[in-house]
Structure 1
Amino acid sequence: MKHLENKKNSVVRFLTFIYKNNKLKILVSFVLVIMASMVDLVFPQLTRKIVDNAIGGHDINLLVTLVILYGVLSIASACVDIVLEYFYSKMKNKSAVDLRISMLKHLSKLSGKYYSNIKTGNLLSILDNDMFIIENFGTDIIFSIIVDFFTALIALFFLIRMQFDLFLVVIVLQLILVVSQSKLTSIIADKTAEVRTDYGRIANIVQEYVSNIMNVVLTKSKRKFFKSFLDKERKIIKKFIRLDMVISGNVAIARFVSALITIAIYGFGGYKIIKGKMTLGELIAFQEYTGMLIGPCINIIRSNTRIQQAKVSLDRIYSVIDEEICIKVDNKGLRLNNTDVDSIIFKDVSFSYNSNEEKILKSINLKFKRGKTTALVGGSGCGKSTIVNLIYRLWDLDDGHIYINDTDIRDLNLLSLRKNICVVSQDLFLLDDTIRNNIVLDNKISDEKLKNICELTGLSELIDSLKLGLDTVIGERGVKLSGGQKQRLAIARTLLSECPIIIFDEATSALDNISQKSIIRNIKEIVEDKIMIVIAHRLSTIDDADLIYVLEDGRVVEQGNKDELVNLKGKYFQYLSEAES
């Protein structure tokens, strides 16, 4: 079903999406646009009667009646346009917001494979620029095409009936206009797609630069960023110029041919008036109907340009929404609560990030128990963080099983699983908000409990030193805090979450040894009824761990508490000796 949906034209798919959520508004709008177009088609006939019958016939009463009727119909038409614009605005803006929400929700369901390959700048370009295009595209364009087609058809009928020979001259020029516009529209659509793709690449460079601005300055890599940025900017400027020239050429040709049509109407029509084969009122009405034929035809062609531009954006948006969810979610799976989790067991687990690469984990067996602190140590690339990713189900394992209690992790409801796991890593998530809001994250926490957590994590001294205390704004990504303060804040947030599974992935690396040991000692008092997993390069972090697994090359090579591992004189002892030297 998903595969068939992906093959559907993205524009049709989006319009179907709008229709499903706005059936009544669309029905009312359709009736109103038909009424409005019928009124517009009456105006040339009123103009002809005013010129030929009222003014030409010197009939004051008829002139007043026709002018009043013209005014009333104009007011009615304007009111209908306002109502229609309200419906259009409501439908397209709501639909764009719903589409953005759908995309953001889908992103949260994707696996670590997608996150590791994603270009953030390109994604932001889709959420920003492409969504802006879609916000200006909606059902109004379809109604516009319907009205333009209907108007052009009726105008064509009146033109043929009024002056067939003059109509033939107009229609030849009209065909030249339509063909030229159609070809140039196709070129514009292709060049727009190129520019949009290149702009996404530039947005990625800008995002990397801005989000890492301090590191860029510290590493003196500004020149590299600017060189890459300017190279791509020069190329996209050339493409923008070419696109603008094609658009300008398109407009110039349309104006020229339109001018020829006007010349033909007034030249040939004026000749017919002089010869008495046509009245002045008919000439004016013919000119207005010609405008009602040419204008809608041009609008339809330009609507196609808008559709093609929107299609480029919709294709990019739906490429994200249609990204396959590798982590299969069982919405009916067993749900956990924070009293259910007693153990996590890895049984013969093997895993690789890419099927053609060597396994990161090789038939590994682990056990994490409630009320115990279990540590994972080993060199870079041995699989420590991979174990965390598998527990959180950012990836699914290749072979073996992971059990929570006696249930395979893949049989659990994914939302319930992740809700019960709290991970504190070096890559901290911090809001440009107050210390309080960064810790509680909109949860209702009493001031007494918050104060207690801040004391346990060593934040109290910082908070007391600040004029606004907990209400101090920490800046984007916590820029106003030191590395250690950021980690304390993240740990405080974790302890308030009351998750039964807590994972510290190098979560105290920015703290000094004294602060680290103090926080860990305090944490143990709080998490004594939880499963606590600690990943650490600094071995002093895990002195009091109940169980330590030593990993090497994706396998467990040693396990036991600190004393047992020291007595083995093996890999752990080697790490300990290197740390002390």
Structure 2
Amino acid sequence: MNACLKKNKGFLAMAVLMGAVSAIAAAFVSIILQWILDVALNGDLEGFEKMIAGIAIYMAALCLMGFVEALCGKILLRNVTKDLRDRIFRGVMSKGPEEYYKCNSADYLSMIVNDVKLIEENFLIPLLLSIQMIALFLATLAILCYLSPLITAILIGFLLLMFLVPALLGKALQKRQNFYSEELARFTAKAKDFLSGYEVIRSFSIGGHILSKYHKENSNTVNAKFRADRLVAVNESLADMLSTLSVVVVVFVAAYMVLRGNITAGTLLALIQLSGTFSTPVLVIMQSFPKMAGMKPILNKVEALCTQENKSSVANAAASVRFQKGISFDCVKFGYEDDHAILKGINLEIEPNKKYAMLGDSGCGKTTVIRLLTGYSDRYQGHICYDGKEVRQMNQRELSQQIAVIHQNVYLFDTDIYQNICLEEKFSEEDLNLALQKSGVAGFLSQMEEGIHTKVGENGSRLSGGQRQRIAVARALIRKTPILVLDEGTSAVDQKTACAIERELLKEKELTLITITHHMQIELKNQYDRIFYMDKGVICTPDCE
């Protein structure tokens, strides 16, 4: 948050300055009211007429200053909100895979949308308003002291009572605001889960059950917000009561002073005006400070993520590297949980430009080997090296230059086929056509109305599973990474097509291919340089083959 405000310090300074000037100018309206009434009661028509032009100019200037202050505030809110969302998104994207998957994607979405909105409404706006109100309060206090020290002392007494309220409610409100943020994130995750499961809900006719669960989550969320709002309402009502009471007392005391001849009727009007102005900024500040204090946990959470993004951006600078010597696994052990090992001592060598297959039943550790190879976690024991360089010492940019993985479950962005293959990068027409041919995408493009620029829908909903996986193959081939992993990457296409794609990849002389599969294509088995068999987290001995 501090970084975002610092980046927009010009607009912040202008908003604060113009807000302060506007507030001070607004406080002096009470003096103008005093002059008007005193001149009228004295029957000074000439003086009254002279005041009209001056007052008109003053009010026009006041209106202009208010507009500039409001405009600067809106620009500041726009810029800070944009920067904050950008930093949160970069922070999420900079997480390592192991760290990223510890949270539901809906939690990240809730931070970007809900938490940023809460920060805007309950921190940024109250902050700007509080600064303006402090300036208004100080200007009002100075004028009150000039007009009547007695009235000033009475209002300060009420002021001290007002400050007791947020002091008593601040911590409780902070806890409830944090709880509401957590409930909002949980509700977003559940709603996303239900919407993503539309086909399952429809197929198994469980709409009533899901609607009931949604209703419960929705109720929990709005009730969490209500509990926070209820405390805010207590704070606001007590502040309103004390503010109204202070004005009533001031009117009685000032009216008595008029009867005694200590002040003029114009001064009475000014004091009444100022008493309302005096309590208003205090009231606003009392309402704003608990809101800002309640945002501390959310601000800390966002700041932690943004700090991670700053560290990662430095680490991601990398020189271009190529695969020359090979990959080595030396006694590698790993478990997703500390007390449950998945890999129990893997030793293997992968040489450049050779073709390898890794077979084994589900849960034997094949995919975990590939995950570690692509930098999923640095918690493994032993050594994993590319050309002698430890994976722990490589950042994501270096790894992505070395290896590409085609997974069984392919994700496609809600854009066209071309963008899903190129992913915003520029490639030559020759490289694109070659990738389309080798992946099999060219085989179905003629069936598409807009060819390669056909929209695929959300996560490729307008394409078949086989078409989605062909696009994933093309996405990997066009980048010409020296190592390609097929992690059940052709499982969604028919056997004939899968065999054709795999055969094309096996012909690539300058490609290191690692195929992860449950079932080896018999006709392609002899084209692999070596086949590894995995069982219960270890590479089996040659006897097992």
Fold conserved between structures, TM > 0.5: yes
Q: Which residue of 1 aligns with 2:26?
A: 40
Determine if contact 2:243/2:283 at 8 Å carries over to the other structure: no
- The verdict on how the C-alpha distance between 1:326 and 1:382 changes in structure 2, with shifts beyond 3 A counting, is farther
Residue 318 of structure 2 corresponds to residue 337 of structure 1: no
Report deviation, 1:297: 0.8
In the TM superposition, what whole-angstrom CA distance separates every residue of 1:121-173 from its partner, at most 9, and x where no partner exists? Answer: 22211111111123446666545434433432342343344334444544444
Residues 151-300 of structure 1 correspond to what in structure 2 (within 5 A)? 151-180=136-165, 182-184=167-169, 186-218=171-203, 222=207, 225-300=210-285
Determine if contact 1:173/1:261 at 8 Å carries over to the other structure: yes
Q: Which residue of 1 aligns with 2:299?
A: 314
- Equivalent in 495, 499, 520 of residue 539 of structure 1: 520
Determine if contact 2:247/2:275 at 8 Å carries over to the other structure: no
Residue 24 of structure 2 corresponds to residue 71 of structure 1: no
- The verdict on how the C-alpha distance between 1:329 and 1:448 changes in structure 2, with shifts beyond 3 A counting, is closer
In the TM superposition, what whole-angstrom CA distance separates every residue of 1:396-441 from its partner, at most 9, and x where no partner exists? Answer: 1532212212322333344222233211101212011112221222
Which amino acid in the other structure matches residue 420 of structure 1?
Q
Partner Cα separation in structure 1 for residue 293 and residue 341 of structure 2: 45
- Equivalent in 420, 425, 429 of residue 402 of structure 2: 420
Q: How many residues align?
A: 543
Residue 95 of structure 2 corresponds to residue 110 of structure 1: yes
Q: Which residue of 2 aligns with 1:530?
A: 511
- The verdict on how the C-alpha distance between 1:150 and 1:448 changes in structure 2, with shifts beyond 3 A counting, is closer
- The verdict on how the C-alpha distance between 1:262 and 1:65 changes in structure 2, with shifts beyond 3 A counting, is same
Residue 535 of structure 2 corresponds to residue 552 of structure 1: yes
Determine what percentage of the aligned residue pairs are the same residue: 22
Q: Which residue of 1 aligns with 2:482?
A: 500
Residue 351 of structure 2 corresponds to residue 369 of structure 1: yes
Q: Which residue of 2 aligns with 1:389?
A: 371
Q: Which residue of 2 aligns with 1:57?
A: 42
- The verdict on how the C-alpha distance between 1:472 and 1:328 changes in structure 2, with shifts beyond 3 A counting, is closer
Determine if contact 2:187/2:221 at 8 Å carries over to the other structure: no
Unaligned runs of 5+ in 1: 1-13, 560-567, 573-581
In the TM superposition, what whole-angstrom CA distance separates every residue of 1:468-511 from its partner, at most 9, and x where no partner exists? Answer: 22222111011111111111111111111211111111101112
Partner Cα separation in structure 2 for residue 327 and residue 362 of structure 1: 31
Report deviation, 1:324: 10
| Bigger mean CA offset, 407-416 vs 468-477 | 407-416
- The verdict on how the C-alpha distance between 1:212 and 1:325 changes in structure 2, with shifts beyond 3 A counting, is farther
- Equivalent in 71, 75, 79 of residue 90 of structure 1: 75
| Bigger mean CA offset, 102-111 vs 373-382 | 102-111
Determine if contact 1:120/1:207 at 8 Å carries over to the other structure: no
3-state SS, counterpart of residue 465 of structure 1: coil
Partner Cα separation in structure 2 for residue 252 and residue 407 of structure 1: 66
Q: Which residue of 2 aligns with 1:398?
A: 380
Which amino acid in the other structure matches residue 110 of structure 1?
K
In the TM superposition, what whole-angstrom CA distance separates every residue of 1:321-379 from its partner, at most 9, and x where no partner exists? Answer: 4569999985677x3434x4442111222222233x23222221112222211111111
Residues 404-483 of structure 1 correspond to what in structure 2 (within 5 A)? 404-447=386-429, 449-483=431-465
Determine if contact 2:243/2:280 at 8 Å carries over to the other structure: no
Which amino acid in the other structure matches residue 509 of structure 2?
E
Residue 104 of structure 2 corresponds to residue 119 of structure 1: yes
Partner Cα separation in structure 2 for residue 115 and residue 100 of structure 1: 17
Unaligned runs of 5+ in 2: none
Residue 332 of structure 2 corresponds to residue 346 of structure 1: no
Which amino acid in the other structure matches residue 538 of structure 1?
H
Determine if contact 2:123/2:295 at 8 Å carries over to the other structure: no
Determine if contact 2:360/2:518 at 8 Å carries over to the other structure: yes
Partner Cα separation in structure 2 for residue 286 and residue 250 of structure 1: 26
3-state SS, counterpart of residue 28 of structure 2: helix
- The verdict on how the C-alpha distance between 1:61 and 1:504 changes in structure 2, with shifts beyond 3 A counting, is farther
| Bigger mean CA offset, 468-477 vs 185-194 | 185-194
Determine if contact 1:487/1:508 at 8 Å carries over to the other structure: yes
Partner Cα separation in structure 1 for residue 309 and residue 107 of structure 2: 18
Report deviation, 1:204: 1.0
Partner Cα separation in structure 2 for residue 366 and residue 106 of structure 1: 35
Report deviation, 1:384: 0.8
Partner Cα separation in structure 2 for residue 189 and residue 328 of structure 1: 32
| Bigger mean CA offset, 547-556 vs 233-242 | 233-242
Determine if contact 2:14/2:72 at 8 Å carries over to the other structure: no
Determine if contact 1:390/1:397 at 8 Å carries over to the other structure: no
In the TM superposition, what whole-angstrom CA distance separates every residue of 1:52-89 from its partner, at most 9, and x where no partner exists? Answer: 0x212322342233332222222222222322333333
CA RMSD, Structure 1 to Structure 2 (Å):
3.0
Which amino acid in the other structure matches residue 26 of structure 2?
D
3-state SS, counterpart of residue 497 of structure 1: coil
Determine if contact 2:81/2:120 at 8 Å carries over to the other structure: yes
Report deviation, 1:465: 1.7
TM-score (norm. length: structure 1): 0.85
In the TM superposition, what whole-angstrom CA distance separates every residue of 1:32-67 from its partner, at most 9, and x where no partner exists? Answer: 344333322322112111110x21232234223333
Partner Cα separation in structure 2 for residue 545 and residue 329 of structure 1: 40
In the TM superposition, what whole-angstrom CA distance separates every residue of 1:205-261 from its partner, at most 9, and x where no partner exists? Answer: 111122232234345555554443333333334334444444444443333333333
Partner Cα separation in structure 1 for residue 484 and residue 509 of structure 2: 11
Report deviation, 1:305: 2.8
- The verdict on how the C-alpha distance between 1:395 and 1:325 changes in structure 2, with shifts beyond 3 A counting, is farther
3-state SS, counterpart of residue 117 of structure 1: coil
Determine if contact 1:178/1:298 at 8 Å carries over to the other structure: no
Partner Cα separation in structure 2 for residue 114 and residue 167 of structure 1: 58
Which amino acid in the other structure matches residue 510 of structure 2?
D
Partner Cα separation in structure 2 for residue 517 and residue 328 of structure 1: 41
- The verdict on how the C-alpha distance between 1:421 and 1:61 changes in structure 2, with shifts beyond 3 A counting, is farther
- The verdict on how the C-alpha distance between 1:26 and 1:117 changes in structure 2, with shifts beyond 3 A counting, is closer
- The verdict on how the C-alpha distance between 1:329 and 1:508 changes in structure 2, with shifts beyond 3 A counting, is farther
Which amino acid in the other structure matches residue 466 of structure 1?
M
Residue 286 of structure 2 corresponds to residue 305 of structure 1: no
